[in-house]
Amino acid sequence: MSRRTRRTAPVTCPCGLPAPYADCCGRLHRGEAGAATAEQLMRSRYSAFAVGDEAYLLRSWHSTTRPPRLELDPGPRWVRLEILGTTDGSAFHSTGTVEFRAHYVDGGRTGEQHENSRFTREGGAWVYVDGVSLP
Ligand SMILES: [Zn+2]
C-alpha cells in the first residue's frame, strides 16, 4: 500500500450537474465525447481544474491563446460552479460566452472567481479563448 495521497476521481461531477463524474465531464476528459455547447465546455474545464487535469485544460484552449504549459496551483480546492448566464454557444453557433462564478476553499478561506469567458470553435470543437475577470 502506498502511503502517498493522490487525487481520486470524484463520484459526483464537480461541475454541479446531477450526474456521476465518469458519465459527465469525465467522458470529455477521457476524450470519449466532445462538448456540444460552450456551457458544456466551460463545465468540463471547471471540472478539469477540480480534478487537476492539466492536459484537458490545454487541449480545450484555443491554439492562439493557449499557454505553452500549465501547472495548476495545488492550493485552491474548487467546490462549486455557478453558471450565471450564457450568450450563443449552442450547437448552431460558432462563438459563445459563459459568465460564471467558481467557488473555492484555500487554506480554510473561501473565495470565488467571477469571469465572463469567450469560446469559439476550432476544428469544429468548442475551445476556450479568453476571459474577463469581473468584480
Ligand atoms: Zn460535469
User: Over the stretch 96-122, which tens digit does the pLDDT of each residue have?
Assistant: 999 999 999 998 899 999 999 999 999
With 90 as the cut, is the pLDDT of residue 7 above it?
Answer: no
Whether 37 contacts 90, CB under 8 Å: yes
Q: Indicate yes or no: pTM above 0.75.
A: yes
pLDDT of residue 11: 83
CB of 117 within 8 A of CB of 100? yes
Instruction: Give me ligand 1 centre to Cα 74, in Å.
Output: 21
CA distance 6 to 89: 35
Name the E strands within the chain: 77-88, 95-106, 109-122, 125-133
- Alpha-carbon span 12 to 9, nearest angstrom: 9
Neighbours of 11 (CB within 10 A): 8
Grid cell, residue 80, equals: 462549486
The C-alpha angle 20, 60, 91, rounded to 5 degrees, equals 75
Identify whether the C-beta of residue 115 lies closer than 8 Å to the C-beta of residue 84.
no
Distance 42 CA to ligand 1 centre (A): 10
Q: Which amino acid is at 56?
A: Y
Give residue 126 CA to ligand 1 midpoint distance, Å. Answer: 16
Instruction: State in Å: Cα 1 to ligand 1 middle.
Output: 31
The torsion angles phi and psi of 82, rounded to 5 degrees, stand at: -115, 125
Q: How far is the CA of 16 from the centre of ligand 1 (A)?
A: 6
Mean pLDDT of the chain: 93
Compute the distance from residue 62 Cα to the ligand 1 centre, in Å.
Answer: 21
| 27-49 tens-digit pLDDT | 999 999 999 999 999 999 999 99
Ligand 1 center to residue 68 CA distance, Å? 26
